[in-house]
Amino acid sequence: MNRNNSQTMAARSVPLTVPSKPATGSGRSIGAILVDAGRLSPLDAERIVHFQKDRGARFGDSGKALGLLTDDDVRYALSVQF
């Protein structure tokens, strides 16, 4: 085996790693994204979370039901999140 073949073989034996999460997306919650963007106060985010847990609803739907979020707010947060 010549030197070039041994280098090729070594390169092939390196294991590939696969990330556990996709590279895209921020991984942050919608609430955190909206608070960081100044579109929601931390206190209002807590109110939404409590409403969400009580009703079993999504964060965005809960925020809209409480009148604290708009469709644009939810779309913005989702675009940052994904």
Three-state SS sequence of the chain = CCHHHHHHHHHHCCCCCCCCCCCCCCCCCHHHHHHHCCCCCHHHHHHHHHHHHHHCCCHHHHHHHCCCCCHHHHHHHHHHHC
**pLDDT category, 27, cuts 50, 70, 90?**
confident
Give a yes or no: residue 8 inside a domain.
no
Is the pLDDT at 67 greater than 80? The verdict is yes
Within a domain: residue 29?
yes
Q: List the domain range (segments joined by +) for residue 54.
A: 24-81
| 33 falls within a domain | yes
Residue 47 lies in a domain: yes
pLDDT value, residue 23: 47
pTM over the 0.75 mark: no
- Quick check: is 11 in a domain? no
For residue 9, being part of any structural domain is answered with: no
Number of domains in the chain: 1
Q: Which two tokens stand for residue 82?
A: 């994904």
Name residues whose C-beta falls within 8 Å of residue 57's C-beta, 6 or more positions apart in sequence.
Answer: 51, 65
